[in-house]
Structure 1
Amino acid sequence: MTKSNSKVALITGADRGIGFETAKELGLMGYTVLIGSRNKERGQAAVNKLTGLDIDADTLQIDVTKRATIQNARDQIDKTYHKLDILVNNAGIALADDVLPSNVSDEVLRKTFDTNFFGSFAVTQIMLPLIKKSAAGRIVSLSSSVGSLDWQSHPIEGAPINPAYAASKNGVNALTVMFARELANTNIKVNAADPGWTATDLNGFNAPRSVEEGAKIVIKLATLPEDGPSGKFINESGPISW
């Protein structure tokens, strides 16, 4: 059975945190939300919570570091919905031993980039043919202010450097600009969102912002009107310098 009339949103890493909150808010707005999750059980548990709120939701097993799982998810979406209206690249990691450039390990750099950079790229590239079928496709990638080279050059006193995480998010910003350039003459908008320092399992819930606050800019960029921006790095206050 197909559901080609539904407005469909895929959120990776959506079984918890900002991803789950984004899925919930989009679901309450009437979107069919697809929970991308590495863990089948966690994904289904998230879907159960959403359906309890009368949200149309389903789960797709996606490991963003494994292209085969992304391609399989793409095929399932194509078969059921024929298109994808919103893609939120939310899945990401931050490792505890991401310290200073002088002593961060190759392993930490590679593992962080595999998820945050290459994972975001692979999901966007593989899902793009379905997004092109949407009347108003939107791609939102979760970034961070630490990914801004300007911010790194003028940091707040005491702010960590975190080279692996920060560099991977700067890479996400670069991909955002390049995809936006490629798609400039289409109805697709591509942006990077900075949710701010939000309490999630990524930081051991040690942050001042709630997931509801962190998801606000993601929702805004995912539902931009026709005259909205593209190729920007944005938080709640507006564009952030690269």
Structure 2
Amino acid sequence: MTTTLITGANRGLGLETARRLIEAGHTVYAGMRDTGTGDEARALGAIPIALDVTDQASVDAAVASLPALDVLVNNAGVLGPSRQGVDDLDAASLVQTLDTNVVGVVRVTQACLPLLRRSAAPVIVNVASGVGWPRWLSTPGHDEYPVLGIPYAASKAAVIALTVQYAKSLPGFRVNASDPGYTATEFNGYSGHQTIQEGTDATVMLATIGADGPTGEFHNRSGRIEY
């Protein structure tokens, strides 16, 4: 049985990822800040655990409660403040967003490494975004082009970079980043043009790869995004 931890799994992309991985036969631990919001995850068959990626003690306690771990999906993330370019930007806005979206990934990953190293086929999937892809941010016609906010874009660019570096440092692991694409969720006011299933296609594919699968790559539902 494959044991999987998903952060930010009480709603949206995290909850749908939990549903699909349970359907694929995984035992899923659904990380969330407040397990009182975990009724939907429980109904799917997931096991809610309290996990706040901005709180090291919370991360450590959550990971200590796991019996084993084969797959880690770092899904938790925030849009954060300062979404309109530079006029509403300050350093505190950047720090707040990076703490969840980037430092949070590192907190959880580092805490999980001892368990993952005991797995026969350890997998890490970091949920990034095309908004962190400079080529798409600067190319008219892409969904990402109109985005002006700086902290979220910077945080997801950092997630892509740290994925590559983790993959190089952990050659026995499969470590990849996924781009959900512009998906209709509460996160964006349901404005996306993709369904939530489409938005989890890349994450689920990368979470279910074998030991011979890719590592250090960035994928969306159409396949690898070339650097």
1:77-134 superposed Cα distances (whole Å, 9 cap, x missing partner) = 1xxx2x2011000000013532214541222211111110110111111111111111
Find 2:52's aligned residue among 51, 54, 63.
Answer: 63
**TM-score of the superposed pair, with normalisation by structure 2:** 0.94
Unaligned 5+ segments in structure 1 are 1-5, 52-56
Determine the C-alpha separation between the residues in 1 that align with 2:214 and 2:30.
Answer: 26
1:207 aligns with 2:192: yes
1:160 aligns with 2:147: yes
- Give the letter for the 1:215 counterpart: T
**TM-score of the superposed pair, with normalisation by structure 1:** 0.88
Find 2:20's aligned residue among 11, 20, 25.
Answer: 25
1:239 aligns with 2:224: yes
The aligned runs of 1:6-17 (5 Å cut-off) are: 6-17=1-12
Determine the C-alpha separation between the residues in 1 that align with 2:134 and 2:82.
Answer: 21
1:144 aligns with 2:129: yes
| Aligned pairs, number | 225
Shift of 1:205: 1.3
Kept in 1: contact 2:217–2:224 (CA 8 A): yes
Partner of 1:197: 182
Find 2:109's aligned residue among 124, 131, 145.
Answer: 124
Find 1:230's aligned residue among 215, 220, 226.
Answer: 215
- The residue matched to 2:219 in structure 1 has which SS? strand
Determine the C-alpha separation between the residues in 2 that align with 1:47 and 1:64.
Answer: 18
Summarize the Cα distance change of 1:153–1:147 in structure 2 as closer, same or farther, 3 Å threshold: same
Determine the C-alpha separation between the residues in 2 that align with 1:101 and 1:120.
Answer: 26
Shift of 1:155: 4.3
Determine the C-alpha separation between the residues in 1 that align with 2:96 and 2:56.
Answer: 15
Partner of 1:174: 161
Q: Percent identity?
A: 41
Kept in 1: contact 2:17–2:203 (CA 8 A): yes
Partner of 2:170: 183
Alpha-carbon RMSD across the aligned residues, in angstroms, is 1.5
Determine the C-alpha separation between the residues in 1 that align with 2:34 and 2:131.
Answer: 28
Find 2:33's aligned residue among 33, 38, 41.
Answer: 38
Determine the C-alpha separation between the residues in 2 that align with 1:65 and 1:215.
Answer: 24
Determine the C-alpha separation between the residues in 1 that align with 2:90 and 2:189.
Answer: 22
1:47 aligns with 2:41: yes
- The residue matched to 1:202 in structure 2 has which SS? helix
Kept in 2: contact 1:64–1:123 (CA 8 A): yes
Unaligned 5+ segments in structure 2 are none
Shift of 1:189: 0.3
Partner of 1:54: none
Determine the C-alpha separation between the residues in 2 that align with 1:160 and 1:223.
Answer: 31
Kept in 1: contact 2:82–2:150 (CA 8 A): no
- The residue matched to 2:155 in structure 1 has which SS? helix
